[in-house]
Structure formats: structure tokens, C-alpha cells
A and B are shown apart, each in its own frame.
Chain A
Amino acid sequence: MTHVRSLVLPLVAVVLVVLASLVPGDEEPPRRPTAAPITQTTYACPTGSAITVAAGQVAAGTSATATVLPDGSTEDGLADSSTWRTQRVAGEGVIVQQKGRSSGAVGYFSGRAAGAGGGGLAVGQCPGVADDSWLLGLGSGEKHLSTLVLTNLADTPAIADLTLWGKQGRIEAVDAQGVVVEPRSVLRVPVADLAAGESELAVQVHRRRGSLSVVADDAATGSFTGTEPISATASPRREQVVSGIVEGTGGRTLLILNPGSATARVGVDVIGPKSTFTPSGLDKVRVPAGAVKVVTVPKSAGPDEQALRLTSDRPVSATVRMSPGSKDYAYAKSAPALTGPAVVPIDLGTQLDEPELVLSAPGRAASVEVVTYAADMARLSSTRVAVAAGTTRTVTVKGRAAYAVLRPKGRVTGAVTYTRGRGLSSLVLGTAPLEALAPQVRPLG
């Protein structure tokens, strides 16, 4: 009996072990990046005598500064973070820095090019710092010339690596690696200096070091005529929607870059006013490895405003050059669906017709609330626009508003088209910078 009592102690040990084994483990949850409100936004706009810069935001910021390059002077006309403001700025560029929690500060530039340079209307978004910028539609020959505009937003040198592709494949450009942009300066690089004689080019600008923004000036006087700023299209991916294709069956050229090492097979669907369909000839576009494929959008795609949905077995980038008339052209770019408010500039400081929104719902039905504001950010009007599933519809923003804010419900992509006379320009809609994904951070003691 005493022996048995003594075994109580080992039994207690066994019970303790069993109990401990039954307690679930305390596994550390994954530390995925989470959205964090943006408190400071910086972007760079090209400037010039014919260019007007517009600056605004979704919500009033706490402060803003505008630094003119290269002399570093400040531009007070763009420094009020609680209004929509436009200002013509002398110099090579202007860096606007705006503070405020989830202010959603954005900047745009617009102007009319001189006839000698191709003429036409140019509206573009002032880009912020990007790690990789994919620019399609550039040229360096056959009367189609582009210039890269690299702006260093910080006070330390920036370094960029440029990679170029043409219709025949990747171009080994001279001096394209390690391009240094001095602190707080603008570097204009004619693409012809890197690779001359190419009518169609795609460029990837990789920011190796520093704080760098990228945009391109594009002008043509050949088979198409006009001027258009080229901002980055979406990075190569297997599915994407090129939004904001304007009305008119002619002059639509789909440019597809396949930066990979294997041929990409791309299927193209048209998201039209009534439905999504596959036009004949675009069901299987083969894009050679490491090359730019130029595809004329067939008339079977229809004349209406539309978007193209590209599905590929390899990551590709795409954009559509639109030249419905003979005097100007614009680019419709690929952009991800809106995930938050998007700003539509209306008052760009340049005489323009009422802008037209081209909204597409590539998946299910969606809607967009369009709210217009005066320059002092006073709310003027509000309209909800429904977009049927797999369709594209256009909305003209009427009234004398300074800007509009779109608030999507559902998956919506789109662009805004500006015209004036025979001038044409298109601006892809992007989500205003209210939040950014930031890593989870913790002290290590």
C-alpha cells in the first residue's frame, strides 16, 4: 500500500506533462504589412512657360511647400494645403510636399504644346517616388521622340537604371545603367540618346538609390501627331485592364511589352458600353519575349468608349495609344482598380472642355459617387454613377467645379479624358495617397 502511495509522485509528474501538452501553443501571428495613414506626400511636376501646375487633395492638409527647381525657391501659389490651387511655375520642375494625416495630396500639370513640337493638349499627373516605373509608347525615331524627365526629390544623389525594349527586342542602350540625378534637380534624358531610331519603345526606370520620380514627354509629327505626357503604366502582370479608351474606331494602337524570356500569349477582351466581348483578331496575341508588340485594335472592337482587359500567360505591360483625329493623341494606361477616393482635376489652369469620365467595371456591377468641389474645397454636387458588370460608361463632369472626388463602390477602373478643340489628353484614375502599406514594426530592446 505504501508502495502505491509512493507512485503518486510520478503520477503527478505525468499529469503535469499531460496538462502542459494539452495547452495550445502560442504561435506568433504573421506580421503582414498593414495600411498606415500617409502623413506626408511629395511629388514632382514638370514645369515650363506653357505648363500649369494644379495641386489639391482629398482632405485639407496641415501644411504644404512647393520648391522650384533648380534654384530652390519656394512657390507660394501652391503652398496652401486647404485649397485647390493652380499656378504657372517657371523653372525645370517643382517639388510639392504636403503634410497632413490622410490628406491625399495630388498634383497635376497641363498645357498646350506648340505646333512645331507636335501641338496638342497635354495633361499629366505629377508622379511621386516610385521603385520601378514602366513607360510604354515612347519613341526615338520616325518623327516620334520622347524625353525622360527624372526628378530627384531629395538632397542626396539618386541613381537610376534604365532598361529599354523595342519591337525587335531588348535594346542594350549605352549609359543606361547608373544614371545619376543630382540632389533636388531635374534630369531630362532624350530617349534618342539611349537608343536612336526606334519608333516604339518601352522603358523601365528602376530606382537604384535615392528619391526619384519619373515621367516622359512624348511628341510625334509622323503617322500620329501631337503631344502627351507619359506616366507609368502598371508593372508587368498577367491580368490587367487598360481603361479610358476614347470614342472612335481609328487610331487605336495596343502596345504590349513582354519583358520576360518567353513568348507571351495575350487574350484581349473589350469592355464595351453593353458587355464584354472578344473582338476578332485579338483573342490570341503573341508577344515575343523581350519585345514590344504593336497591335492595331480592330474595328470589331467597336467605336464606343471602352476598356481592354488583357489576360496573359506571362507578365506583360500594356497601354493603348489613341489618335482618333489627326491633330493629337493620348494614352490609355493600365491601372489597378480604385481602392479609395480618386481625385479628378477639373480646373487645371488651362482652357479645357468639360472632362469626361470613362469608367469600367471589369467584374461585377459597381458604382461611383462623383462629388464635385470648388477651389476652396466646398462641396458643390454629388452624383452616383452605376456601372453595369463588364461594361464601360462615360460621364461628363458638368459645372464649374475645381475638382471632383470619386468614391468607388465595387471594382472600378477608369480614366478622365480632356479635350479642347482637336486637342486630346487622357489621365488614368488612381487612388489618392491616403494610406500606404507599411511593415509591422517593433522594438527589439
Chain B
Amino acid sequence: MDENETTRHWLDDPPSVAAVLVTHNGARWLPQVLASFARMAHAPTAWRVVDVSSTDGSAELLRDSFGADRITYAPSGTGFGDAVRLGLAELPPTDWVWLLHDDASVVPGTLSGLLDTATSAPDIAVVGPKIREWPSLRRLLEVGLTVTSTGARETGLETGEPDAGQHDRSRDVLAVNTAGMLVRRDVWDELDGLDPDLPLFFDDIDFGWRVARAGHRTRTAPSAVMFHAESSRRGTRPRTSGDVPPWEQRRAALHTMLANTPMPRFLYQYVRLFLGSLVRVLGLLIGKDPEAASDELLALRSTYLHPVRLRRARQRRALTARRRHREIRHLMAPYWLPYQHGYDLLRETITALVRPEAIATVGRRSTGTDRAPDDADLDDGSSLLARRPWLAVVLALVILSCVAARGLFGGSLNGGALLPAPETAGGWWQLLVEARHPVGLSSVSLPPLFALPLAVVATPFWFHPGLVVTTLMLFSVPLAALSAHRLGRQMSPHRAPRIVWAVTYALAVVATGAVAQGRVGTVVALIVLPIIVNTAWQLAENPGWQLALRFGIWTALAAAFAPIVLLLAFGGLAILWYAEQRWVGRHLVVAVVTPLVLLGPWLLQRALHPWRMWWEAGYPVPGEAAVKDVVLGRAGGAGAAPAWLTIGLVVLAVVALVPRSTRFGVRLAWLTALLGLAVALIGTVVTYSTPAGPADLTPWVGVPTVLWIGGLATAVLLAAPAATGWPRPALAAAVVVALVLPVGTAGWWLARGVDGPLTDRPPSVVPAFLTERPGDTLILTGSLDAGVDWRVVSGDGPHLGQEAVTPSRADTARVTVAVRQLLGQSSGDAVGAISAAGIDAIYAPEVDIDLAQRIDAAPQVAPAGSERPGSRVWTLSAEPHSEDAGAPWWHRGLTIVQILLWLGAIVLTAPVRRRPTPEPLSSDDEEVTA
């Protein structure tokens, strides 16, 4: 590690070094620290120990090691900088001063390494060692320091990054840690040492910053290694009166930033750090870390309520600054680092929310490929499939999804029931908060709640929100498989049947035709459905209000996309209640009330017309399922897999009822399946109407149908262990029958793909030139003999979510009458009424000749060119003038309350964070070998 001493030119005239060791209740580490000093190859010229009111026996250790005459005793509350100052007062002048902590040990070549670098150039004023984790681990803590513009201490290292020599090149840095800092005495005196206003934290960064502004260099010496326990940061040092409060760390950061940032950037930073701190407080509260939030507020108060202190600090720094700030800018952290930290914080917060440590297995983990204990690497062979079969299956499903989705990665998906995503994620946010929706005939109805999760998830991909929809639709199979497999772990310890079961469920999603038909509501609901069941399962096993709340949140999320899930979830709760018969009522109440509250008034719009619960996210495209389709797990329409593939599963599910040992679970699965079957069959015999829109629509029954098939598959999974005793031929036959559905569906899925009507071509709702006109466009389809359908679109058409906001009945009725009048008698009054609705163009995509002639005959209507053969366009000569009534004042507020309710509910399910408890120190088992 150390260089050959014969090459060290400074040994010819060794520079004098005064070492100052500051201790404060460091008895825990001092024995090792003092022992390390004794082994140094090159020792300091002079030693001074400053003990700051240690009460733990440190003083005795120090006396034994250094003798009483080399110890200075400082009063309680003395900061590190002041302590060093006291120590230096007792020492003769030397070339260098070496600062040491009582929790940092050295290796024999530490000082030599520091001096190697220190003497390599005359303008080097400060040198710092490579600091690794106590007591002698490979993990790096620091190799130089800098600071971000938000006041975050930045080491440039990954958390837990091992030392493999990757940072063993000496370089200029902004600062080095005071633990092991070697500083030129004249520079120390010039800058008056460490700032007394920074007694413990950020004194090193502040000092380095001032050193740099004074025209000196701070450099790392990677050949010098120290091991630091970081007892102050970790809180492992016994606290005594006079110690700095916990919020001092953040105050020191703010103080350092504001004291050293030059004008005029100081003004910007002054405001930014203030507002940024408030945002951090909010984020910490959301992350349920109230103590950290409190620290942030106290630090903010302490910094901003003492402007005089700040002004004096800036004046002192101005006296010693000889270089412009821009000359040392390269030493600062890159500008984007705070954003990365923000992202890390967000990720950490979400991780905390999604993966509460108190719960071993929850549905929330379902979206990750995290490993359960039984998913540990197997010793079955060298291939991934043999070692980690589930991961291999997921990867295979991802690859197969890419193949099945061939030709659909070109842009924003649309077609069938699916509308394109908005141009930016702001489209969904706007839909949520705007009081009036400018969607053709303007609407004041409440926005659909599924826009909220879409907006949240799409925000990181602001300009490509379609990525979210594309991922959900095209990778629905692996996503559903992941959530199902997580549930499978709860239900079965047998790996192979569980994997087959999860894949069967996942493929059932595409087998219904939901993806090909653009049924995004069904897709999301079916991805979430296993999570709901999983949470319900846990709730049954371990009742608790947080689990009940989580059940309600997941149910609300799925129901926002497919409201029928609400009915299924409540039905499922009833089955569990019947099965368990021991639930405390309040848990049930929380589980039921939570989704009702979270869905709020939007749910009322659907629930007041019960069959409207069938209307999922996207256009209300009618379903085509017949009874036999439902029985065999198909929801009818384009993209449904051959129904016969399911026959074997139905037979096996009936057989699954036979074994006595597994009958209880199998019956539960059958009850759940029957719930799905019943709801799906109801869907085949009823119709629903949308408000001011299409009427008498046959529901799409994809969600309950998959629940039926999923329930049957679960019955088979649960009965699988009982089948191990069957005769071999019978078992083989059962396995083959069980594999027919997933294998056959996968083959069909790959062969057919998932397009049609789903497409990635830009939707051409209206000709391009009409989108530039000031008014809306009336789209007419149908014929005079078979009836005409109309809709009004604004611009180039609605995006996903806007289809759910409907214009008022009065406006709709007015336009309906006007269109009928126009097509019945070509009257000018009708044209006037259409103009009054804000419409200035009529578009007939597949025009009926009679219909076109009626419109042609109307006054104030001029034919215009159309881009598509067979279509006709007319423009209205009258100026469109829409007289919009005011939106109810409470709409916007209600939506915001709704958003806050979601946020509050999610936060409530997360565990409360406490101030970090001292981490146990690592043992020496990873000690470095020389």
C-alpha cells in the first residue's frame, strides 16, 4: 500500500506535523484508535489531545497513552473547531496540522501517504485520506467531499461501494473530512481555522470551500487510509448535555450554503433553499418521517431567523476570498445531482410505502421480481431456468409479450375502447383539476378517478405518457403473472404448479380479448385483482386496520378503472367473512368504506345507475359475450382465444373438489369463481346506458369472466398436492390437461398478436385541417335508414379519460334535436343551433349519400375537401359561439380533496419512520488483509 520510503523526497527534510486529537466520550473506539497511532510508520512531530468533557473513561485512556501534559480539557459544548483551536494553542508552530477524531483509526502509512500528496505541489493546502468504514472494512465512506446546490453533502460514492482501488487517483476536491485532514498551518491561521458557527457538521465542507476561494488546493490522498466510525452521524456516540441537537446537521448545511454562495446567486439560493426546505418538509411528512420534518423546520428557523449571524459569516469569508467562485465551480457537485437525490428520496419513500418492512408478503411487492425465501437460487444446475425458474418465466413472458406486440411499439396505442394518451402527462392532471372540460360539448361532470393514478405514474415520463398505457397493455401478461405469482406464494408452496397457475391467470387476461380490444380498464383491474385477493387473504389471517385500508386502496384503484371490481371485491369479502367467521367488524368496515370514500362522488355517478358500473375506462364499446363464451372464459369480440382451450380446466376444477385434504381451500376458490361467473352472466343479460351518450349497451364482462377462470385455476392449484398420490398415468393426464390452457393460449397469443382493433397508428378522428379551426367538429356516422350517431370532438379528438366526462343532458338534447332537424329538413335553424354549440364543422367519415344530400341542402353549410375517400366534410359559415354555463364552484375543490384523500390513505398504510437508531458496528470479520 505504501510507497517505498526511499522514493519519498520529503523524508530528506521531513515537514513538521502537529497532530490534534479531539475526543468526546469516545472510549468505545479509543483503544483501537490509540493502538493504530502506535503502529504508524511516520509519526507526527507533536501531539495534542483535546478532550471535550468526556465522562465515559476516555480521559483515563488518553492519560495512559499520551500523559497528562499533552491533554487539554475543554468545557462541555465546545465545538470541533474550537477544540482544535485550543489544542493548537498549546503546540509549537509546525508546517502542517493533522486533525484526528477519536472514532477514526489509522494504518501505519496514513500520515506518510498524506505527506506524499501534501508535498507534491506548493499550492496544496489541505489533504485528506481515503476513509473506509470502521473498523477495517472495505466499504468506502469518503474520498473527498463536495456539496450540491441544495446543501447535500456529496461523496460521489455509491452507498456501500467497496474499495477496489477505483478511487486511488489523487485529485482536487472541494473539501475533505476533518477526520484525518492534514492542513497547512499557515493556511489554517490565515483562514482562522474551522468556523465556530459550525461546531460539528459541515465544518469540513465550509473550510474546504474557504480554502478554495483563498486560492489554495484541497487534494485527496488515496494512499492514506483511515477507518471512521462516523459516530456523530450515526448517533452511536453517547450523548451528553451540550451536544448539538439533531437538527444541527441541516442547519449547518443551510448556513454553509448561504455563507459561501457569492452574490447574486446568493439571493436565488436564499429563496430556493427556503422553498426547497418547505418541500422537503412536505415530502418527509408524506414519507411519514415526522422527526426529520421537524428537524428540517427547526434548521430553517434557526438559519433564517438569524440574518446578522449570516451576514457576519459572509463578511468574514469575503475577507479571505481571492478567487472568483466560477474558478472553483468544477469542484462543486453537478447541477443535476439534487434532482437525482430527489428521485432517490422519492424512490425511497415509495419503496417505504410499497414494501413495509413489517409485512413479509404483501401484494404491493407484486410489481417487482423480488425474491421470496423459496425463490433463492437453486442448486439444480447452471441455467437460469434451473436456478431461478420464476425469474426465467417472467423474462420469457416479457420476451413473448414483445413478440405478440409486434408492430405496436410505434406510438401511442389506441383503438377499440382505448383512446390515445394525452400529449403530456399534464393532460391527465388538467382533466383532474379543471372545473370545465373542453371536450367537444363542454362538460362539468366530475373527472374519472382513473386519471389520477395515470397522471401520477405518467408524470416522470411527462412528454411520453403513452408509455404508461403501452406498458400496461402490451406487458399485461408478465405484469399479471407477477401479481398472480405473488398471490400464489400465499396459496401454494409448490413451485411448478404455482408457476403454471400464475401463467394461466396471466394469459387469461389476453385470452378474453381485453388487450386486442383496448380494454385498458379490464387490463389494469386484472393486474391488480390478485393483489386485492392477496391483501384480503392477509387480512383474513392477520386482521388489522392498515391491511383493511390497503385492501380498500387496491380495490379503489382497480374499481377506478373497472367499477365492477367493487362489486366483486365486496363479494369476495363476504366469502372470506363466511369462511373465517371471526373478523372484527371494524376491519370489515374499513375495507368496505375506504374504496367508497376514495372513489367518492365519481362512484355515485355510476352507482346511481347500477348497471353503469360496467362502464370501464375507455369508450363504452359494447361487449359481445354469449353465455357459452363466459363459461369458457371468453368475453367475446375481437382477439378472444379459442374457447375450447378452457374445457380441460373446467373438468380439472370439478375433479379438484374430490380430495378431502384440500377441500376447504378448493371450496373457497370455487365460491370465488362462482361469484365471477354470476356477475359475468348478469352482464350478458343486462344493458346499461351512459349519461348523455350511447344507450342500451351490452356490458363487457372481461373482469368477472377472468375471476371465474382464475377461481377454477386456483381450485386446481390448491388440489394439486393431493394429486401426487394418484397413479402415474392419471397424474400425467391431469398435468397434460392442465397445460393445455396456458400452452395453447400462449401459442395462440404469439400467432395472433394483440393488434386489431388495437393499433399504434395515430388516431384520425377528424381531418387534420379541421383541428386548426376554432370550433369543434360534429362527427356523424350511420345512415338515414339505420339511424345516425353523433359526437362532438374538440381539436384532434379526446384522450384517455376525457371519454368519461359527459356533456350535460340539456346540451346533448339540443344537439340531438338540431342534428335530427338538419338531417330531416335541412333547416337553417338546425345549423344555427349546431353553431351555438360551438361547432363549426361537420365530418362524416363514411358518408351515407342521403345523409350528405340533406346536409348539402342546408343553408350556411359549405362543403370542404376531405382526406379520406368516402368521407365528407362541411364547414359552417357562422362563427361558433358556445355559451358555456359556469361549472359548479365546488367541483375543483372536491377533486383536490379526493386527491388528498388518496394521498392520506396511502400514507396511513406506510409505517412511521423514527430517527435512525444506532447501527451496530460491524465486526472485524471483513477486516482487510494487508
Report B458-475 CB contacts with A as 1/0, cut-off 8 Å.
000000000000000000
A444 within 8 A of B: yes
A421 within 8 A of B: no
Report B828-872 CB contacts with A as 1/0, cut-off 8 Å.
111000000000000000000011010011111111000000000
User: What are 17 residue pairs bridging A and B, where the CB atoms are less than 8 Å apart in the complex?
Assistant: A6-B657, A12-B674, A16-B681, A26-B685, A40-B830, A97-B828, A131-B857, A154-B857, A155-B859, A156-B861, A207-B853, A209-B856, A439-B784, A441-B788, A443-B694, A443-B791, A445-B791
Set of chain B residues within 8 Å of A33, measured between Cβ atoms: 784-785
Q: A31-B786, A443-B693 are in contact. List 14 more A-B contacts (CB 8 A).
A: A9-B657, A9-B667, A9-B670, A20-B630, A20-B685, A21-B627, A28-B696, A38-B824, A40-B828, A40-B830, A155-B859, A156-B862, A441-B823, A444-B779
The answer to whether A444 touches B789, judged by C-beta atoms less than 8 angstroms apart, is yes
Q: B660, B690, B824: which contacts A2 (Cβ < 8 A)?
A: B660
Chain B interface (Cβ within 8 Å of chain A)?
Answer: 619-620, 627, 630-631, 654, 657-658, 660, 663, 667, 670-671, 673-674, 677-678, 681-682, 684-687, 690, 692-696, 698, 779, 781-791, 803, 806, 812, 815-816, 819-821, 823-830, 850-851, 853, 856-863, 877
Residue ID in chain A nearest B622 by CB atoms: A28
The answer to whether B781 touches A444, judged by C-beta atoms less than 8 angstroms apart, is yes
Separation in Å of the B503 CB from the closest CB of chain A? 24
The answer to whether B820 touches A439, judged by C-beta atoms less than 8 angstroms apart, is yes
Set of chain A residues within 8 Å of B693, measured between Cβ atoms: 443-445
With contact pairs A9-B671, A210-B856, A439-B820 given, residues A40 and B827 touching in the complex (Cβ less than 8 Å): yes
The answer to whether B821 touches A442, judged by C-beta atoms less than 8 angstroms apart, is no
Set of chain A residues within 8 Å of B820, measured between Cβ atoms: 36, 438-441
Q: A3, A19, A154, A207: which contacts B858 (Cβ < 8 A)?
A: A154
Report A16-54 CB contacts with B as 1/0, cut-off 8 Å.
110111010110101111001011111000000000000
A26 vs B678: C-alpha distance when bound (angstroms): 18
Residue ID in chain A nearest B785 by CB atoms: A33
Residue ID in chain A nearest B656 by CB atoms: A6
A378 within 8 A of B: no
Residue ID in chain B nearest A445 by CB atoms: B693
A40 vs B619: C-alpha distance when bound (angstroms): 36
Set of chain A residues within 8 Å of B686, measured between Cβ atoms: 26
- A197-224 CB contacts (< 8 Å) to partner B: 207, 209-212
The answer to whether B856 touches A3, judged by C-beta atoms less than 8 angstroms apart, is no
A153 within 8 A of B: yes
Separation in Å of the A318 CB from the closest CB of chain B? 25
Separation in Å of the A316 CB from the closest CB of chain B? 23
Separation in Å of the B809 CB from the closest CB of chain A? 10
- A419-445 CB contacts (< 8 Å) to partner B: 436-445
Residue ID in chain A nearest B670 by CB atoms: A9
With contact pairs A211-B857, A437-B824 given, residues A445 and B620 touching in the complex (Cβ less than 8 Å): yes
A7 within 8 A of B: yes
A99 within 8 A of B: yes
A9 vs B671: C-alpha distance when bound (angstroms): 7
The answer to whether A442 touches B787, judged by C-beta atoms less than 8 angstroms apart, is yes
A46 vs B660: C-alpha distance when bound (angstroms): 95
Set of chain B residues within 8 Å of A443, measured between Cβ atoms: 692-694, 789-791, 812, 815-816
With contact pairs A6-B667, A445-B690, A445-B803 given, residues A211 and B856 touching in the complex (Cβ less than 8 Å): yes
A129 vs B825: C-alpha distance when bound (angstroms): 10
The answer to whether B790 touches A444, judged by C-beta atoms less than 8 angstroms apart, is yes
Q: A129, A156, A439: which contacts B823 (Cβ < 8 A)?
A: A439
Separation in Å of the A6 CB from the closest CB of chain B? 4
The answer to whether A7 touches B826, judged by C-beta atoms less than 8 angstroms apart, is no
Set of chain B residues within 8 Å of A156, measured between Cβ atoms: 859-863, 877
A13 within 8 A of B: yes
The answer to whether A441 touches B819, judged by C-beta atoms less than 8 angstroms apart, is yes
Set of chain B residues within 8 Å of A30, measured between Cβ atoms: 786
Set of chain A residues within 8 Å of B827, measured between Cβ atoms: 38-40, 42
- A386-445 CB contacts (< 8 Å) to partner B: 436-445
Set of chain A residues within 8 Å of B619, measured between Cβ atoms: 445
Separation in Å of the B550 CB from the closest CB of chain A? 30
A438 vs B920: C-alpha distance when bound (angstroms): 84
Set of chain B residues within 8 Å of A23, measured between Cβ atoms: 685
The answer to whether A13 touches B787, judged by C-beta atoms less than 8 angstroms apart, is no
Separation in Å of the B835 CB from the closest CB of chain A? 14
Separation in Å of the A431 CB from the closest CB of chain B? 14
Q: B782, B826, B858: which contacts A439 (Cβ < 8 A)?
A: B782
Separation in Å of the B857 CB from the closest CB of chain A? 4
A440 vs B671: C-alpha distance when bound (angstroms): 45
A411 vs B670: C-alpha distance when bound (angstroms): 67
Set of chain B residues within 8 Å of A438, measured between Cβ atoms: 820-821, 823-825
Q: B658, B678, B696, B812: which contacts A16 (Cβ < 8 A)?
A: B678
Report A38-80 CB contacts with B as 1/0, cut-off 8 Å.
1111100000000000000000000000000000000000000
A22 vs B389: C-alpha distance when bound (angstroms): 47
A154 vs B695: C-alpha distance when bound (angstroms): 36
Separation in Å of the B66 CB from the closest CB of chain A? 84
Set of chain B residues within 8 Å of A439, measured between Cβ atoms: 782-785, 787-788, 820, 823-824, 851
Query: What 8 A-B pairs come out closest when comparing CB atoms?
Result: A438-B824, A31-B787, A445-B693, A40-B827, A20-B681, A6-B657, A444-B791, A23-B685
The answer to whether B823 touches A40, judged by C-beta atoms less than 8 angstroms apart, is no
The answer to whether A154 touches B696, judged by C-beta atoms less than 8 angstroms apart, is no
Set of chain A residues within 8 Å of B631, measured between Cβ atoms: 13, 17
With contact pairs A7-B657, A445-B619 given, residues A26 and B784 touching in the complex (Cβ less than 8 Å): no
Residue ID in chain A nearest B708 by CB atoms: A13
With contact pairs A6-B667, A129-B857, A154-B859 given, residues A441 and B816 touching in the complex (Cβ less than 8 Å): yes
Set of chain A residues within 8 Å of B860, measured between Cβ atoms: 154-156
Residue ID in chain B nearest A33 by CB atoms: B784
Set of chain B residues within 8 Å of A153, measured between Cβ atoms: 859
The answer to whether B786 touches A39, judged by C-beta atoms less than 8 angstroms apart, is no
Separation in Å of the A385 CB from the closest CB of chain B? 31
Residue ID in chain A nearest B812 by CB atoms: A443
